[in-house]
Amino acid sequence: MKKIVDLISEDVKQAFASKGYEEKYGFVTLSNRPDLCQFQCNGALQAAKAYKKAPIIIAQEIADILKENARYKEITAIAPGFINITLSDEFLAGYLNGMRKEKDFGCEKEPNPMKIIIDYGGPNIAKPLHVGHMRSAVIGESLKRIFRFMGNEVIGDVHLGDWGTQMGLVIAELKRRKPDLVYFDDNYTGEYPDEAPFTLSELEEIYPAASAYSKENPEFREEAKKITYLMQNGHRGYMALWKHMQDVSVTDLKRIYERLNVSFELWKKESDAQPYIPDMVKYLKENGYARISDGALVVDVKEETDTKEIPPCMILKSDGATLYNTTDLATIVERMELFNPDQIIYITDKRQDLYFETIFRCARKTKLVNENTKLKFIGFGTMNGKDGKPFKTRDGGVLRLEYLIDMVTDEVYRKIMENRTMDEEEARKVAEKVGLAALKYGDLSNQISKDYIFDVDRFTSFEGNTGPYILYTIVRIKSILEKFKETGKTVNPGLEILEAQSDTERDLMLQITKFSDTIQGAYEEMAPHRICQYIYELSDKFSSFYHETKIISDEYDEKRQASLILLITLVQGILLTCIDLLGFTAPDRM
């Protein structure tokens, strides 16, 4: 189903062509003065230069043609050359009836569907998720849903960090505390225990303790490096501990991601890319892509057109050790071999922009990816506290993600219980859904690259541009539809949405028509905030319409009441679709 703005553009382009002008001047946009008209065309201003004619004359010629079209209620040429366009109520209602009957409300899908891998996790095992992990998870999940909605095959990968020095530090600290564990006995040849020798809480305490201890004790730091090397080369005991760390960590990670309504198709790890490294290094050497620099193996990625310094991409350190560069390039090799994607998208802190620029250039220059495979980095801004600095705990530490979820959920629960409209058990369940909406909407309503202030009071407000306000609108519509059902009435299948009878109804209908354009824009620009803005405006226009219109009223005839019920059902369906794309759901009541 064509977007409404495209249908109008077709009419205007034909009008330009019929008067001997190029069609391109008939491009139509939403009006920037909605108090004057619904849509506008500024093409006469550009055409005037090409055809050496006063723009108002061209605009008037086009307006005279369009006035004959039943789609339009009013067409006006305004000096110096604007064409203001207002749709007829009949056409507007007809378009909504078309949306109502089409799958996904008539949203046009990707004409050339792609296979896309999105890397949007990145937590390290043996460490808890903290607030820094939230944005990549929330943004990645929403983009995955948007891409999939548009018809693509999308694979989300958590890409766990499980192979670096932190593993050696944890094992070294465990060895310092419990030296008698069987894992540290090099003469042991039996089976290792199935149960880990540590709990999740112990594991989460061990890493920061080990990290701090290593800074004060160089011999311990060297021991950790040695353990890392041995583990990466197959030491039985260390590999068994590493496996325990994975099992304990992943179980907890899945639990917290589930609370965030975030899921991954792949639970791949850094270690999965290790088998690809030797052949990759050999390939880079044999094909002349890599060179030795101060003992290290590097690939030059600087280009003549660069205006900033771009360092070489280091593949191996001078001692032969691998780096994140090595692992990330090997992961690309793995993804190409296993999935052959059309696009790989990485979502992480925007401060890693130069790093990914280097990795992508290296992958392209060395032909580790197909010529047509797109590599995309999406860098997000920082979630800050009210002081404008990265969000911290009161004592200055990094807040665990689970505690952040609890903080928002508890505040929503408190507000629900203030009204005492439901019992405590139901309030807790509702607070989980509303709290998640508050958290996700508060994040996604900002442009991805922008920093934003985390304000629990504002995010959990049931009024304004917030997740709870969107959910409240959905719940209100559910309540109206339930009341209509209780009257015993039904909507006959042949009935449709009728022409608007008020300005608020017309405004609501016009906002509905922007659905496809919004989703298309969010998809092309990788911008979930566009969906947030759309559903906020849709909810706002519904609120105005609701306060002015008695939807459940005996004064209406069957057709008028059916029209209103079909209209608000359409609003509800679109809102539910949009919040699903943002990654949260609505309760039955609030």
CATH number for the domain that contains residue 54 = 3.30.1360.70
**Helix H or strand E segment including 155:** strand 153-157
Q: In terms of residue numbers, what domain contains 76?
A: 4-87
d(C-alpha 416, C-alpha 189), whole Å: 59
In a domain, 413, yes or no: yes
Residues 536, 413 share a domain: yes
pTM, entire model: 0.95
Chosen domain end from 197, 226, 259: 259
Chosen domain end from 219, 238, 259: 259
Averaged pLDDT for residues 162-185? 94
Residue (of 301, 295, 302, 310) closest to 329 by Cα position? 301
Q: Which residues pair with 30 in a beta bridge?
A: 39
Is the pLDDT at 217 greater than 90, yes or no? yes
Residues 174, 42 share a domain: no
d(C-alpha 119, C-alpha 340), whole Å: 15
> What CATH number does the domain containing 546 carry?
1.10.730.10
β-pairing, 72-78 vs 452-453, is unpaired
Assign 509 to helix, strand or coil: helix
Residue 331 burial by Cβ neighbours in a 10 Å radius (0-12, 13-18, 19+) = buried
Q: In the prediction, which pLDDT does 396 show?
A: 66
Which pLDDT tens digit goes with each residue over 280-337? 999 999 999 999 999 999 999 999 999 888 999 999 999 888 899 999 999 999 999 9
d(C-alpha 431, C-alpha 429), whole Å: 5
Residues 550, 423 share a domain: yes
Give the whole-number percent of the chain exceeding pLDDT 90.
Answer: 90
Number of domains, the chain: 3
Q: Name the average pLDDT for the chain.
A: 95
Q: Which residue has the tokens 């070294």?
A: 172
pLDDT band for 388, please (50, 70, 90 cuts).
confident
pLDDT band for 201, please (50, 70, 90 cuts).
confident
In a domain, 268, yes or no: no
The Cα angle at residue 142 between residues 257 and 433, in degrees rounded to 5: 55
Which pLDDT tens digit goes with each residue over 99-132? 999 999 999 999 999 999 999 998 999 888 999 8
Q: In the prediction, which pLDDT does 128 show?
A: 87
In a domain, 187, yes or no: yes
In a domain, 201, yes or no: yes
In a domain, 185, yes or no: yes
Residues 431, 537 share a domain: yes
Chosen domain end from 68, 87, 106: 87
